[in-house]
């Protein structure tokens, strides 16, 4: 292979390598979705469609009594702003980001969940006693990072509202 051919070869490789960089939604996003399987989520669909549609956020109780919390992290808030969960019950958290990388933490606990756009982060939480925890972002995510605060209320199990199918628990219901 002479230098001319090598140069053409390298330029071709470079041109091909640049395609994914300019075709994020055509190439990268579907590829990442395929690789990540069920944990993939389109950040542009949040609030509007799918699992993270507005009225599916918050605390959901399954028929078997299991508790799932769905949240969205975005610059610079957590949605819903106040989460209500029962004490002494395992809580399955599912959260994703609408924009930057965030990290959901509850002050006074060891929980710290990294949240990335395009993927669903899952965690198993359990709070032994009733109380109120400040929910904070622990990953620098921009100018409003230090104001990215919300709340978690843990109520005694028998004070947690009985939720109908499709109903979501929130702090106002308490
Ligand atoms: Cu979100 Cu820092």
User: How much distance in Å is there from the Cα of 141 to the middle of ligand 1?
Assistant: 4
Q: Is the CB of 138 under 6 A from ligand 1?
A: no
Task: Give the number of the atom of ligand 1 that is nearest the alpha carbon of residue 140.
Answer: 2
Q: Burial letters for 109-137: b for 16+ Cβ neighbours within 10 Å, e otherwise?
A: eebebbbbbbbbbeeebebeeeeebebbb
pTM for the full model? 0.76
152 pLDDT more than 80: yes
Ligand 1 centre to CA of 102 (Å) is: 5
- Verify whether ligand 1 is closer than 6 Å to residue 102 (CB atom): yes
Query: Residue 148: CB within 6 Å of ligand 1?
Result: yes
**Which of these ranges, 4-8, 27-31, 107-111, has the smallest mean pLDDT?**
27-31
pLDDT grade for 78, boundaries at 50, 70 and 90: very high
Question: In Å, how far are 58, 63, 108 from 69, measured between CA atoms?
Answer: 5, 15, 19
Q: How far is the CA of 28 from the centre of ligand 1 (A)?
A: 25
Query: 71 falls in which pLDDT band (50, 70, 90)?
Result: very high
State the distance from the centre of ligand 1 to the C-alpha of 77, rounded, in angstroms.
8
Mean predicted confidence (pLDDT) in 143-149: 95
The whole-angstrom separation of Cα 33 and Cα 64 is: 30
Is 78 a pocket residue for ligand 1 (Cβ < 6 Å)?
no
Query: Quick one: average pLDDT of 49-58?
Result: 88
Whether residue 141 has its Cβ less than 6 Å from ligand 1: yes
Determine the Cα–Cα distance for residues 159 and 153; give it in Å rounded to an integer: 12
**Ligand 1 center from residue 127 Cα (angstroms):** 23
pLDDT at 15 over 90: no
Residue 173: predicted pLDDT: 62
């Amino acid at each position: 292979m002479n230098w001319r051919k090598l140069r053409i070869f390298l330029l071709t490789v470079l041109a091909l390598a640049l395609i994914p960089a300019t075709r994020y939604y055509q190439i990268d996003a579907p590829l990442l979705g395929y690789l990540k399987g069920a944990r993939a989520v389109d950040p542009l669909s949040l609030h509007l469609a799918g699992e993270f549609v507005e009225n599916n956020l918050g605390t959901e109780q399954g028929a078997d009594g299991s508790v799932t919390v769905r949240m969205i992290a975005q610059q610079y808030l957590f949605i819903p702003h106040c989460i209500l969960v029962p004490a002494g019950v395992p809580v399955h958290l599912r959260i994703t980001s609408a924009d930057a990388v965030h990290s959901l933490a509850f002050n006074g606990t060891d929980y710290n969940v990294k949240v990335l756009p395009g993927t669903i982060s899952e965690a198993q939480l359990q709070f032994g006693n009733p109380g109120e925890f400040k929910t904070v972002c622990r990953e620098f995510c921009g100018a409003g990072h230090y104001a990215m605060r919300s709340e978690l209320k843990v109520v005694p199990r028998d004070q947690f509202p009985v939720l109908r199918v499709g109903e979501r628990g929130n702090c106002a219901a308490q």
